Amino acid sequence: MGVITARGTDVPDSRQPHRVRRDGGVRSLEPSPGAGEDGPVVVLVPGLGALGYLLDALAGCGGWARSFLLDVPGFGHHRPRPCAAEVPAVAEAVARWLDLVVGDTPVVLVGHSTGAQAALHVAADHPDRVGALVLMGPTFPPEQRRLPGLLRGCARNSRREPPGLLPVTVPYYVRGGPRDLARFVRSAQRDRPEQVITGVRCPTLLVRGEHDAFSPRGWVERLAAAAPDGWSETTSGAHTFPYQHGGATSALIARAARRAGLLGDG
């Protein structure tokens, strides 16, 4: 499909230039210009449908990879949306997009938060499509699958997030609406990443911020141990550690790509 500039009725995403594509009903963002067009393909899946906080990571990956940030379940634009606001539906939409846009090329699939849960399903169900998997801040540990535990996690994490985060996330939540946001969270709470990750065959990096209350250290280490080829790292920040740290985030993603043999050592 055609490539257009992000303008008009779309939620403002960043001051940085980027291109917007629409393929099979899914809107995706690419860095502009595409400096990494000859590198591997990196696909980013946001948490709770908010794209804005991952634009720095998209720009960072664009320096060495052909990079895309997917607008799923579609909170970045007006209806119709490409899929329902649920983890399984987002995973299906990502898999369809990979078939349509990338084809047989194994990608570096990166998900954050609930996007990590969706990315995990894609990697487990479509191993030929994913050459390396990066799960950033994967949610939810068992203690947060009920409301009291989730609220405690929210309270602890919110104290550590940067003040500029709200303007790049709230517009997406407003567009998504409270009903679909709640539907998305409930879907993520029903998910069982600890079971899904055992079926992933590609190198899998799990990353958490040191103050991430939604993705505690023990939970991430447990997931990494359950993956056949998994390892974990901790970086600075809280749950949305990629925000304003695109260079550091893209460097972590590059490590997974190198381990999978998708990126050289240069």
Q: Within a domain: residue 13? A: yes
168-178 per-position pLDDT tens digit:
999 999 999 99
74-126 per-position pLDDT tens digit:
999 888 899 999 999 999 999 999 999 999 999 999 999 999 999 999 999 99
Contact assessment for residue 173 and residue 113, using Cβ atoms and an 8 Å cutoff: no
> What's the total number of domains in the chain?
1
Q: What pLDDT does residue 153 have?
A: 93
Look up the pTM and report it.
Answer: 0.92
Q: Within a domain: residue 184? A: yes
Q: What pLDDT does residue 8 have?
A: 31
Q: How far apart are CA 176 and CA 1, in angstroms?
A: 25
Q: What pLDDT does residue 78 have?
A: 80
Contact assessment for residue 42 and residue 253, using Cβ atoms and an 8 Å cutoff: yes
Q: Within a domain: residue 58? A: yes
Domain region containing 82? 3-259
> Residue 14 pLDDT more than 60?
no
Q: Within a domain: residue 200? A: yes
Res. 10 pLDDT band, cuts 50 70 90: very low
CATH at 25? 3.40.50.1820
